[in-house]
Every structure is written in C-alpha cells, then in structure tokens.
Amino acid sequence: MRRVIVQTLLIASVAARTAAQSADAGTSSSRDPSNHSETWSGRGSSAFYALPDAGNYLQPTAAADRDALHLEMRYNYEAQNSVSGFVGRNVTFGTSVVLQMTPMLGALAGDTTGIVPALELDLAWKRLEFYTEGEYVIDAIHPSDRFLYSWSETSIWITNRIRTGVVTQRTRAYQAPRDIQRGLLLGATVAKFEAAVYFFNPNADDRFFVASIGVTF
C-alpha cells in the first residue's frame, strides 16, 4: 500500500507542476500582470462520521489554491484507508449570481485504486447557496466497481454567520442500507473557521451524524 500511495503523490506532484506552469503562461498572456495573484491560499477540514452500525471514522481534506490552480488531497473520502490527490482549475462567473466551478482530475490509492475525474460547484445568490461535489471513481483493479459519488448542500444564510438547509450524499466509504442519504444541516462561520453538523435520515432507524470543522488560511 505504501508504494501505491507514494506513486499517487508523485503523479499529483508532476501534474500540479505542469498545471501551475500552464496557469502562469495563460495568465501572463491574457491578463494584466498587476491582477495576477502570486500568493497561495489554503483550507484544511476534517469530518467525523458517527455511524450506527459501523465504525466511526475521520475524513480529513486539505486544499490549496494559487490563482486558477487548485490542489486537493483527501483521506477516507472515496473509500476508507484510501488517499486521493487532485489537480484542478478554478473558474468563476457572474456578479449578483456567482457561479464557481473547479473541474479536477485525480488518482486514488489504498484499499481502492483508480482514476477520479471530479467537479466542485458553488452557486450563490443573495442568502441562498447551493454547493455540490461529485466524482466518478474508475477502479483500476476491479473495473466493474466504478461508482458515482456525490455530496450536495442547499442552504440559506439566516445571518452573516449562520446557515441551515438540507444535504444529500451518495457514497461507498462505508456500507449503508440506502443508495442516497438525505438530511438536515446547520453551519456557522467565525473569522477563518467554519463548522457544520449534518443529521442524515432523521426519520429512519439508520440515522447518523456528521460533524465537520475547517479553517482557511
């Protein structure tokens, strides 16, 4: 497993270097250099899954951005005991209605090994926000085990710091009796920190919680 993880990290590193060079070239030729951001920004988060009929686990994610370049790494996301690395490009449209998209391509290694095309999308209008992340896991060892994963949130910001709404997910990170799980969410933002609690399947016996906390820098 260690060898596979190292190979994945090397692939992500080479792809990131290539993407960064392409982003720099495209930016210098099509934009005013004074508008080009030379600094990195990042985000780290961790989600705790409290499951009724399976072992609880943590799912950490780390992401970094430099202008249009986006890098991301996850653990226990597509499958437990598996790490994934992604390279993508940030694109933003609109002013009053803002659409942010990040198409990505990644590699997955561990208990599950494969290639993962993915997309993150955020659509915001006034106090309403829709966020979704989806990916298609192409299993390199067992091609018939291809799987479409998704996580979506629709929320309204009650205040500038508190939001509430609904959430849906489709996953194979753990065994679940239903294909698509739905629930409620409550989130809060303070300075550079963001936290949220998700209550899935509230009216069913297989109800469970997910709690997440993240920081931007």
How far apart CA 85 and CA 105 sit, in angstroms, is 8
143: CATH: 2.40.160.40
Q: pLDDT under 50 in the chain at which residues?
A: 1-36
User: How many structural domains are present in the chain?
Assistant: 1
In this structure, how many other beta carbons lie within 10 angstroms of the beta carbon of residue 39? 7
CA triple 6-81-84, angle to 5 deg = 50
Parent domain of 175: 2-216
Summarize pLDDT for 32-89 with one digit per residue, the tens.
444 445 799 999 999 999 998 888 999 999 999 999 999 999 999 999 999 999 999 9
Question: Residue 37's pLDDT is what?
Answer: 55
Question: Residue 31's pLDDT is what?
Answer: 41
> With contact defined as beta carbons under 8 Å apart, do 147 and 133 qualify?
no
In this structure, how many other beta carbons lie within 10 angstroms of the beta carbon of residue 143? 9
What the block records as the tokens of 51 is 């499951």
Helices vs. strands in the chain: H and E counts, helices first: 1, 13
Whether the predicted model's global pTM rises above the 0.85 cut: no
Question: Residue 83's pLDDT is what?
Answer: 98
How far apart CA 109 and CA 75 sit, in angstroms, is 10
Question: What three-state secondary structure class fits 174?
Answer: coil
